[in-house]
Amino acid sequence: MSLKKQAIYGIKWTTTTSVINSVVQIVQLAILARLLDPTDFGLMALVMAVIEFSQMFIDMGISNAIIYRQKISTQQLSTLYWLNIIIGIFLFILLYILSPLISRFYEDDNLTPLLILVAATFLIKPWGQQFMVLLQKKLEFDHIAKTDISSRLISFIIVIILAFNNYGVYSLAIGSVVFAFFSTLGYIYFGSKLHKPRMYFKLSDLKDFLSFGLFQMGEKILQYFANQFDTIMIGKVLGMEILGIYNVAKNLVSKPSSIINPVITKVTFPLMSQLSNQVEYIKIVFLKITNLLSYINVPIYFTLLFFAEPVVKIFFGNEWMSTVPLIRIISMTYLLKALVNPSGSLLLSQGKANIAFFWKLSTVILYPTFILIGRYWGIIGIAVSLLLLQFILFFPNWRIIVNRICKIKFWEYTKNMLIPLIYTIVPLIFAKILSFRIINPFLELGIALFAYFMILIPMNFIFNKTIILEFKGLLFK
């Protein structure tokens, strides 16, 4: 199978996974918003922020190093496998010890048992981590998809049952452990056909991987603080209830890009890794990636901007209307993040983990600065500050990363994003006019989306047949 066909095959499977997972997670969020209170969401946001930070140390940035390196011995893979498990055990013990201190910092004793419970994932995930990476490297995304979808559905069922039986925030915590358990089983089942770890461990086998992986881990740590500093600060300064409201808005808005972008980048990262030093071809691939992501992300996030009120009423209920202005602001922030996201895969595919680290290091210090300034205007002030920061970082991201690696001009880069914006704004304006003054949120959103697509599809067929052919190629080849 050619690289192009493998990439299309991978995109189809990752798209299927993302669509199903996104539907399941949004339905779960909608149900839980009616069963749990904002404080529960605030507690779980902090728990997951701590777990996400610790999770990075299990991988040590080695996953991308395995994908990047074309030749790896069985002994090296075995050493890396047992390293992941050792680190997982260490992190579980460490978090078990530190959880009371974290609870004391936030002045909430409910955090301690929650942190310990979710920390159990550190004893589970490392057993399947390498198998998942090897499946990704071999572009066997059908096995990854089957594992993720089945695990997500099992977790969803258990979470909802527990929530209806008044387990509160513990329904979310237990659900995360269940997902980790079943996904690990799936990765082991499919991945063991590619590699069976031996009882072998040699420190010298880690040298080449850690030199790449440590830069990667450092970059991920910095990215973590860029993404989670708002959660950490809001929980401490504004309290769990405000954090819960913010987290529900952020969770809804971040879901599309966190699911859609990996559909493309997970496939194109190993693909571009196999095209190292072929600058012209990488340029073509990268521009197609940004163009495709723009045509998907721009309509989603501008729809959230225009129709935040009916979306909140439908998914969360009238009691969550305070999230509407947050959703509108955060949607623009995550749109900008989604559009520049492929530059990270571009760096890693060319083995530039050091540049990725130093770029993130030079930008991440701005995040706490902007949040500290924005907090004087409350939660809205923080949201606006983070949006402003994304605008400021857009041009440097192009100049330092995109232009430097594949010589793409600024107009070439932005044109891929501006054209989808035009094709989105015009239909949305008409959709907004047609749905204006409709009180029923289901009817308002339904009429708006129908009008939007009735205008968007003919516009693209008349003025922009290229993108129709691109999507047709992805879906039917």
Residue 426 lies in a domain: yes
Quick check: 323 and 316 in contact, CB under 8 A? Answer: yes
Tokens 């197609």 belong to 288
Residue 461 belongs to some domain of the structure? yes
313 falls within a domain:
yes
Tokens of 67: 């994908």
Quick one: how many helices (H) and strands (E) in the chain?
Answer: 21, 0
Give 437's contacts (C-beta < 8 A, 6+ positions apart): none
pLDDT of residue 270: 58
* Pairwise pLDDT comparison (265 vs 295), residue with the higher score: 295
Alpha carbons 352 and 121: distance in angstroms, whole number: 30
Examine the pLDDT at 220 and tell me if it is beyond 90. Answer: no
Q: Is residue 10 part of a domain?
A: no
* Domain match, 211 and 269 both: no
Q: Picking from 353-362, 385-394, 414-423, 444-453, which range would have the lowest pLDDT averaged per residue? A: 353-362
- Residues 193 and 294 both lie in one domain: no
- 212 and 242 belong to one structural domain: no
Give me the phi and psi of 195, to 5 degrees please. Answer: -160, 135
The residue among 220, 252, 280 that closes a domain is 220
The H or E element containing residue 424 is helix 410-434
Q: Output 257 or 177, whichever has higher pLDDT.
A: 177
Same domain, 211 and 267: no
Taking phi over 0 as left and psi of -120 to 50 as alpha, with beta for the rest, 221 belongs to alpha
Whether residue 155 contacts residue 175, with contact meaning beta carbons closer than 8 Å, is answered with yes
- Please determine, for residue 155, whether its predicted confidence score (pLDDT) is greater than 90: yes
> Which residue has tokens 């149900």?
31
The residue-averaged pLDDT of 427-454 equals 86
Question: Same structural domain for residues 110 and 155?
Answer: yes
Q: In whole numbers, what is the pLDDT of the chain averaged over residues?
A: 80
**Residues spanned by the domain of 250:** 238-477
Q: Establish if 231 belongs to a structural domain.
A: no
Q: Is residue 200 part of a domain?
A: yes
At 387 the pLDDT is: 94
What stretch of H or E contains 83? Answer: helix 74-106
Least confident among 89-98, 164-173, 433-442: 433-442
**pLDDT band, very low/low/confident/very high, at 124 (cuts 50, 70, 90):** very high
Give just the sign of the alpha carbon dihedral 190, 196, 202, 207: negative
If asked whether residues 381 and 433 sit together in one domain, one would say yes
Nearest CA among 88, 89, 182, 187 for reference residue 130: 187
- The band of 291, judged by pLDDT with boundaries at 50, 70 and 90, is confident
Q: How confident is the model at residue 210 (pLDDT cuts 50, 70, 90)?
A: low
Q: Are residues 189 and 134 in the same domain?
A: yes
Q: Are residues 311 and 187 in the same domain?
A: no
Q: Does the pLDDT of residue 474 top 50, yes or no?
A: no
The 3-state DSSP class for residue 148 equals helix
Residue 2's Cβ-count burial label (10 Å; 0-12, 13-18, 19+) is: exposed
Question: Hey, how many other C-beta atoms are within 10 angstroms of the C-beta on 369?
Answer: 11
- What's the token pair of residue 30? 């909608």
231: Cβ–Cβ under 8 A, 6 or more apart, which residues? 45, 46, 49, 243, 246, 247
DSSP secondary structure code for residue 72 in this structure: -
Spatial separation of the C-alpha atoms in residues 139 and 6, rounded to whole Å: 7
Asked if pLDDT for residue 460 goes beyond 70, the answer is: no
Banded pLDDT at 132 (limits 50, 70, 90): confident
The pLDDT tens digits for 294-335 are 888 888 899 999 999 999 998 888 888 889 999 999 999 999
Is 14 among the domain residues?
A: no
- 460 shares a domain with 348: yes
Using CA atoms, how far apart are residues 369 and 385, in angstroms rounded to an integer? Answer: 9
206 in the same domain as 255: no
Domain co-membership, 291 together with 429: yes
Most confident stretch, 202-211, 291-300, 342-351: 291-300
Q: Where are the alpha helices (DSSP H) in 119-239?
A: 126-137, 141-164, 169-191, 207-237
Cα gap 444→309, rounded to integer Å: 10
How much of the chain is helix, strand and coil, in % rounded to 5? 85, 0, 15
46 three-state secondary structure: helix
187 lies in some domain:
yes
| Same domain (yes/no): 457, 391 | yes
* Number of domain units in the chain: 2
126-160: b or e for each residue (b if 16 or more CB lie within 10 Å)? bbbbbbbbbbbbebbbbbbbbbbbebbebbbebbb
Proportion of the chain above pLDDT 90, given as a percent: 17
Q: What per-residue string of b and e applies to 196-225 under the rule 16 or more CB within 10 Å gives b?
A: ebeeebeeebbeebbebbbbbbbbbbbbbe
Q: Is the pLDDT of residue 201 over 80?
A: no
Nearest Cα neighbor of 141 from 248, 18, 258 is 18
CA distance 272 to 267: 9
